[in-house]
Amino acid sequence: MKPAPFEWHAPASLAEALALKAAHGEEARFLAGGQSLVPAMNFRVAQPAILVDLNRVAGLDSVVEENGALRLGAMLRHARLERDATAARTHPILAEALHEVAHPQIRNRGTIGGNLSHADPASEMPAVMLALDARFGLRNAAGEREVAAADFFLGPLTTALRPDEMLTEIRLPALPPRSGTAFLEVARRQGDYPMMGVAAVVTLDAAGMCIAARIACCSAGPTPVAAPRAAAALLGTRLGEADIAAAAELLRDEVEPLGSVQASAGYQRHLAGVLARRALLLAKGRAA
């Protein structure tokens, strides 16, 4: 469990980091918190020739709020975002989901950008990003393009990032008034990758009618999986128990769990229905 030989670069600026990546392309990997990449290197599953260490690049870890919308720097550590008072006010689902991301020691090092770029379909935050309708700023030496979370995750450990690009910023739109969010998962042990996880966001009008809903699941397919049909079924309802149960039933058919060592696909699908129901009830209660 020793990594294969590699060259280590620790640039001090984003421009330098992007120049290195541009020069080396697929040969180089960005090192952020190292909580996924370093174990993979120790297993020799990942053998990058060059590591571009981002830990000395300043200015990539800010939390900026504008009218309820958030901009998160990619090098923001999970633990910091989990405890951020602004994020807790604007998007409480972040802290709720981050609490389930691995263990405190891992959250102290792991970064939001690293986690999203790794694109593990079992990971919590990619699903939360779909539910929050996030947009990602991707940069290369030439400039930036913006990609919706829904277009970013292409497959297991595969994203829309080009070889010379880095995910630098996560942009979360403001949640409208009377919105409620919830994240629930079932894992074998606290801190494990979930066997199923559901992120739910609902918005009610003044009369208590559901006017917007987004639901996304992790461990539910090759990428984080959104459930637009289940969400659509909620629109125009008062999110009664029967409305929610019907949506949960639809969601069971929208997920495509692959099964794992810990859970059969059938059990995962069953959990998706259970968790969707529970998460929607919770979100509704929080929206009121």
- CA–CA separation, 217 vs 198, rounded Å? 4
Cα atoms in the Cβ-side hemisphere of radius 13 Å centred on 201: 27
Question: What angle is formed at CA 3 by the lines to CA 77 and CA 12, rounded to 5 degrees?
Answer: 45
Q: What are phi and psi of 139, to 5 degrees?
A: -120, 145
Report the residue number, 98 or 186, with the smaller CB distance to other proteins: 186
Q: Least CB distance from residue 46 to other proteins, whole Å?
A: 14
Query: Of 108 and 140, which CB lies nearer to other proteins in the complex structure?
Result: 108
Q: Which is nearer to other proteins, 178 or 270 (CB)?
A: 270
Our CB check for other proteins shows the closer of 86 and 264 to be 264
Nearer to other proteins, 242 or 261 (CB): 261
CB of residue 2 vs other proteins: minimum separation in angstroms? 5
Q: Shortest gap between Cβ of 169 and other proteins (angstroms)?
A: 29
In the complex, the smallest distance separating the C-beta of residue 99 from other proteins, rounded to whole angstroms, is 13
Dihedral pair phi/psi, residue 215, rounded to 5°: -135, 135
The nearest distance, CB 144 to other proteins, in angstroms, is 34
Residue whose pair of structure tokens reads 């998706």 in the numeric block: 272
| Contact footprint for other proteins (CB under 8 A) | 1-5, 43-44, 186, 188-193, 195, 261-264, 266-267, 270-271, 274
Which is closer to other proteins, CB of 13 or CB of 264?
264
CB of 34 to other proteins, least distance (A): 15
6 versus 108: smaller Cβ distance to other proteins: 6
Q: Least distance (Å) from other proteins to the CB of residue 260?
A: 8
